[in-house]
A = this chain, B = another copy of it.
Amino acid sequence: MVISSGEAAATKPRGESKVNSVDRALVILEYLGTQTKEVGVRELGQAIGLSKSSVHRILQTLRARGFVKWNPDNARYSLGIKAFEVGCGILRSMEAHTVAKPVLEQLAVALGETVFLGVQDDTELVYIEKVDGRRPVKMYADIGTRRPMHSTGIGKALFAHLDRAEIDRIIASKPLARYTKNTIADPEALRQELEKVRRQGYAEDNEETEEGLYCVGAPLFNYSGRPVAAISVAVPKFGQQQLPRDRVIKHVVAAAQEISAKLGYSGRSKNAALA
């Protein structure tokens, strides 16, 4: 069923029925997820525009289920372990993660650099796994972090293998943010870059997200030829990094192909299969 053409018109007038209090609870969870420190009821209410009592009542509910932790010493709230437990459930149902992890670990050892696994979420990308390399410094990104699709190795690797319509949608969704002087912030240039990435089968991020950081990303395909995730290796440009590009690229592409094969990918794309 491909009704992508009229979906905007068809889905829009449809009842946007939602439950107010549930929505508020989710906003609270989101907010707590961004905070590294415990927060108070009032502060929380002010941050998200709700009355103290409403926030308090919802927090009690979240607490009763373990999604929120309450510190009896200062009566402040923070995210509970249950939130983590539930969120991790997604990894168990994601075959790509299970299959990819051991390969990522080999890759990290072979190259000695930090390796990432990421998936697309709407118009952005979320890192879902990270294996550190031998380098002491390694705070480029963390599991659960969100990044744009156009500036990272993983992002571009995924981006390039989407349908034309999907690419258009993402590019149109918001202006391409610029992070460094190398960031590709022009839509037309990005399209050309994606075309190149698609042809060569891997993506390079040459200080496009962060100064001094070079990344190589490659997509993972499942049995149906859909790009379900992507991996990347981050190589700092500081110091004397002897790793030649070719070597990094070769390893990343090989690892990606190994994972794709384990996911049942036979080399044919989704588009070809549907045509």
Of A14-22, A172-180, A193-201, A235-243, the stretch lying at the interface with chain B is A14-22
A79 contacts the other chain (CB 8 A): yes
Least Cβ–Cβ distance between A226 and chain B, in angstroms: 12
Q: Which of A69-121 contact B (CB under 8 A)?
A: 72-73, 78-93, 101-102, 105, 109, 119, 121
Known: A17-B60, A101-B132. A33 touches B86 (CB 8 A): yes
CA gap between A237 and B194 in the complex, in Å: 49
Interface CB pairs A-B, < 8 A, 10: A15-B60, A19-B57, A23-B61, A26-B61, A26-B62, A30-B65, A81-B128, A87-B87, A88-B144, A102-B138
Q: Which 6 A-B pairs have the closest CB atoms?
A: A87-B87, A88-B144, A33-B89, A33-B86, A18-B61, A81-B121
Please tell me how many copies of the chain the complex holds: 2
Interface centre among A22, A30, A66 (most CB of B within 10 A): A22
A144:B85 contact, CB within 8 angstroms: yes
* Cβ of A142 under 8 Å from chain B: yes
Q: In the assembled complex, which residues on chain B have CB atoms less than 8 Å from the CB atom of A83? A: 86-87, 89-90
A19 touches B87 (CB 8 A): no
Bound: A229/B126 CA distance, A: 27
Knowing A15-B60, A81-B119, A81-B121 are in contact, say whether A91-B144 is a contact too (CB < 8 A). Answer: yes
Asked if A189 CB lies within 8 Å of chain B CBs, one says: no
In the complex, are the beta carbons of B79 and A23 less than 8 A apart? no
Asked if B61 contacts A19 (CB within 8 A), the reply is: yes
Place the interface of chain A in its size category: 35 or more
Asked if B93 and A86 make an inter-chain contact with CB atoms under 8 angstroms apart, the answer reads: no
Tell me the bound Cα distance from A91 to B141 in angstroms.
Answer: 13
> For the complex, what is the distance from the CA of A60 to the CA of B17, rounded to whole Å?
7
Q: Which residues of B are found within 8 Å of A64, using beta-carbon distances? A: 16, 18, 23
Shortest distance from the beta carbon of A208 to any chain B beta carbon, whole Å: 23
B144 contacts A132, CB within 8 Å?
Answer: no
Check A92–B15 contact: CB distance below 8 A.
no
Q: List residues of chain B with CB within 8 A of the CB of A138.
A: 102
Is A25 in contact with chain B by the CB < 8 A criterion? yes
A24–B25 Cα gap in the complex (Å)?
Answer: 11
